[in-house]
Chain A
């Protein structure tokens, strides 16, 4: 019983980590007043760029045994960061420098990112010459998935806390750090000021464009890592088109659910992950009908809506979305 529960929790964590990366990135972005609806596309791009890096690295090797764990991790990771940085820069250039509408830009970015992911995915599948519609990068994935060697000797405790790969711990670290940065540092204070009232922040001498660029680009890179984690760890290095699914939107939902607090996201993402796999594993009663599973998948979204409504009804100042969320800033327009 205990081990079943522990196993279930560890699955929930693995399912939640991509969402945690995505939501931490999006929270940082939204705190600067940018509602980046391109996150799903950015996560796709982050995932596929990592896959491209890993694919060509694996191809350059003489044999799979010659793989260097350091390079096998660093190459995909840098590729992934670079890819999502480019996506973030496109978004920033259009919305911050050119003051375009954020919703439209974000949606276009998602179209673009998902397109990039599936196109290159299809392309690699073709040159990889495999018979199934996926690319398997098992050697690289093995390097990513290395967990602590003594984890499985510690029973349930080991399964719940120590059985993950380094990217999972990195996700938790990043979100805790982001929470501290936002609430306890001067940079965080400035960033929040930019998102709440850019006019005032500008008057106080804060460089609005620089903060928006930095927050959005760093946020995109963090979100991109979510895509990388998904492919390399959760999916064991197997990329197949559209497999990432609607996790990007779930990450945005998670931002609302945590009421813009990245550190709350650590636990909330596990909860979301747990809800997500309810529909896969047969844990809750379905009454013999598979159809009910589909209703379970609704739960994270319904919960998000409830939180969104409750925070707006209670109308507590510290629980609101950033006041200037979704608005472009132009100094001469007051």
Chain B
């Protein structure tokens, strides 16, 4: 050919590389320019801006080549984040070019940029229709391009317009066109589900196409569609099953498995047929991705029953081998699947504790973080401490893992950076596994106290400040729930308070600490020092801590000044004035709640200090009686989360009826006059409550279990050392716990009403408080105590039932898989506003069985058709009823004339059974049609 004309270098080049050459040079220039101007961002930006303005000019030029060139460059620049939607009309022009090459560029640009612009989509519709006209073999590529482009440009009207064309293309002789048509139909179905409903069989027939790629496309499309609405495809399952059994292409098998996953979710009947086949597939296949998908299918398709240990083990064994593989991807995905299986029944994975522990030390932090989610499933009493130890050890910035290199014995140290996110996850995990099921796995609360202390220290440096709340919450929970551990927990809390660093960096932990301090301040002897300490620190505290702190201070003060009779009134006075001066500024706090509470306390304390001035003998009644009565009326018990809210909803307040009738009121008033100040303490009512509730304390001692006592693991945290460390801590701590005699003497100072309560309640406390010092303790109690200490099995109070407890979820609740999902949903609107999800496939199904109209006719006016159908049905039932009444009438007539009541009854029965039969058949008809149409 070259002889026909003198070829220039350019021409030769063009023929050598017959594509892209047209604009190659200038695109090349652009790319080269970008590379040349790479040194500084400013330079690059300057260059890009220049290139962009060039493109702008070129795109406006009447020369099509230049325009195409510009569009291509813009498409490239789009990758650099430049918006090209302004060029949409130019793109449209290029798309409409008759030259394939330009068309291709146009469609490429369109798919990158169009979906933003609904106006341009309208214009594109006509073009698409034209391009989709398939006129001959030469058009294959053109149609192919158009079909590919369709998926980005499709709109509901366009979908409705072209679906007929596409269905004709399904019968094309070329597999390529069939395949492209199927893929394009996918988008059409999403926009225009009626098309699928009306041509379901035609489409499903493509599953049996001769060409594998067509089958693959059909399976894929059905798979994707079934994700949105699986119902209509269930009837295809025999056919799909057939394909699954016969086909050997792994790509298609995976698609089919996915499809079956979707179907099985809504049709449980599939399980008995599919499950054996899938298990067989798992045995026979060599491809890991197929294996993975099989297990996925079993798990996600609800094929794994809660008690089906056989299948679960088969799956888990495979995963186990995956986990041992050297491929980190396999380890990762099997971790994820492990989690899902564990979610079905935790018992399935409980035996894999060794594996999980190994995964916790994986080289890859992302695998570790997946393994953390598994911990909940494997944790039990025996390995809890071990697991926590493993986790705590990882709180370093750089971990080192020894890895075997090659087949030799040589190992290499691989440093691993531990990201903060992972540390936060670890803190949460530790807290979760220790506290789950009301501390079911935890039997050594002293150890847990140490762990919480460690966590408090570690959490300071982490950015997630809510960790402080969680740790504090744990301290508070064991304080309330584990009465026998209160003194130890108290030391931990005081330790936390003492640590200036924690105060500084993690004030969120203090909220619950202060609450506990206040609530259980009877454990503290020198409350005045504690109050002083708090004053030194108070500059750190945010408002929400301050809210808790104010009443807590009051509680501490109350317990402190009533601790013994021989308290120095002068000391009380000074503390009192300290408190007053502390509350003073808080009365002007910006936080409303703080202000209110401060004012309340302030006023009371002012009264108290006035009383102090007047009363030189001992403490005034305000401090000895009234102040404790604020807080000590009854013991607080744990309630489950949300109970308070539920209670609120249960309470109906009657604001109408007066508390007392006129006469009663008069009587009370009279009485009051007689009694004077005897009626001052109205908590008698509450006291009744107390005495009954206090009895729970006796449950503290579980029957000791000797066997457990002996099985202390040696490898666990060195308990011995821990013990001694803690003891030392306690001794050095100025807030040593108050002593037995204090309590008794205190009781004696109380009013009669109170001593009754006190005597009843703190028996258990007394003993525990004086662990090391008190010699007068009676022998049996001591025995009990020592046993308890060995075994570390402590009674944990469960939540009080106040209102009906909500049913607790039985399986893993875990920190639900890192919050995925959600966000992307709302955004997708322009490009793919699919109507399929909500589309009711059953709607028009009534029609064919009744009137037998052809598919073609129904296609157009489904709305009218529906109405017609409804009418028709209505008529039919009416007719039926008419028949019935007619029949009945006849019967009646007969009975009247001939027989007595008895026989008439019989006949009625007969007729009524007929009637019900008829009704059945009426109900049946649409169902039958259901199967036939779709």
A binds B: no
